[in-house]
Structure 1
Amino acid sequence: MIALGILASIAGIGFFCWLLFTLAVYALPFFAGVTIGLWAYDAGAGPIGGVLIGAFAAGVTGGAAQFIFTSVRSVWIRLAIALAFAAPAAVAGYHATLGLTKLTMPSEGWQIAFSVIGAVAVGATAWTRLVAMAPPEVSGHALARR
C-alpha cells in the first residue's frame, strides 16, 4: 500500500510538471485576463461579467501576440514579444518550483536554488514553444529559384 502511494505521488508530481510546462506559454494571457477581469469586477461588472471580460481579454492578448509574432519580420519585435511571454512563465515556474521545494526541503537556500533552476527551465520552455510557432524565414535566394 505504501508503494502504491509513492507511485501515485510521483505520477501526480509528473502530471503537474507536465501541465506547468504545457501551460507556460499562456502565462501572459492568463495574467492579462486576471488583471482586466479584476478591474472589471471592481468597476461594477459583477463576478460573471468580470470572468467573461477577463476571458475575452486573455483570448485577445494571446491571439494578438501570436498573430503579431508570426507575421512580423522584425527580429526586435519578435524578441520583445517572446520576452513578454517568457518572463511571466519564468515567474510562474519559480513559484511553482518554490511551492514544491517547500514541501520537500528544509533548507531555504536550496529551495531558492531549485526555484531559480525551475524558473529558467519553464521560461526556456515557453520561449522555445513560442519560437517554434514562427514560420521559417525565406531568403531572397530561395524565392529566386522558384
Structure 2
Amino acid sequence: MLLGLGIVLGFAGIGFLCWLLFLCAVYAAPLFVAAMVCTMLYDHAMMSGVHAILAGIAAGIMVLAFGQAILASSRDPALRTLVSFLLALPAALAGFGMTLGFSGMGDMGTIPAYLFATFGALCVGGATWTRLCAIQPA
C-alpha cells in the first residue's frame, strides 16, 4: 500500500516539476543573465552582496524587457528568430540539466542518460522557442 503510494507520489512530483519547467522556461535567459551579472560583480569585488544582487536583478529585468519589446515590435523574421533562439537557449540548457538529473535518479547508464537528456533539452528548448515565436508583432 505505502509502496504504491510512494510510486504514485513520485511520478506526480516529477510531473509537477516538468510542468513547472515548461511553464517557467521562457524566463530562463533573464534569470541566467541576472545570476551571471550578480556572480561577476560579487566575485571580482566590484560590489557588496546586496548591491550585486540588485544589479543582477536589474540586468535580468532589462533582458526580459528588451527581448519582449523586440519580439513584440519587430516584423523582421530573421531578427525575431535570432532573439527567440537566444532567449530559448538557456531554457534548453536547463532542460538538459533537469532531464540528466532525473536520469541519475534511476539506474541508467551514462550514454542512455545523455541521450535522454539531449531529448529533454530539445523538448524544453523547442517548447520555449515555440512560445516565444507565438508573440505577435504589434
TM-score (ref. length: structure 1): 0.87
- 1:113-145 C-alpha deviation (Å, 9 max, x unpaired): 111110000000100111122248xxxxxxxxx
How far apart are the structure 2 equivalents of 1:47 and 1:11? 37
Higher Rg of the two aligned structures? 1
Where does structure 1 differ by over 6 angstroms across 4 or more consecutive aligned residues?
Answer: none
Match of 1:143 in 2: none
Q: Of 106, 109, 120, which residue of structure 1 is paired with 2:108?
A: 106
Match of 1:32 in 2: 33
How far apart are the structure 2 equivalents of 1:91 and 1:105? 23
Is 1:84 aligned with 2:51?
no
Match of 1:71 in 2: 73
Aligned pair count reads 136
- 1:54-82 C-alpha deviation (Å, 9 max, x unpaired): 11111110111111111011111101101
Gaps of 5+ in 1: 137-146
- Is this contact kept in 1: 2:75–2:137, CA < 8 A? no
Gaps of 5+ in 2: none
How far apart are the structure 2 equivalents of 1:113 and 1:38? 31
Q: Percent identity?
A: 37
Q: Higher relative CO (CA 8 A, sep ≥ 6), structure 1 or 2?
A: 2
- Is this contact kept in 2: 1:105–1:111, CA < 8 A? no
Match of 2:47 in 1: 45
RMSD: 1.4
Match of 1:142 in 2: none
How far apart are the structure 1 equivalents of 2:50 and 2:123? 35
How far apart are the structure 2 equivalents of 1:49 and 1:7? 44
Please give the secondary structure, in 2, of the residue aligned with 1:133.
Answer: coil
- Is this contact kept in 2: 1:90–1:122, CA < 8 A? yes
Match of 1:97 in 2: 99
How far apart are the structure 1 equivalents of 2:74 and 2:8? 47
The one-letter code matched in structure 1 to 2:130 is T
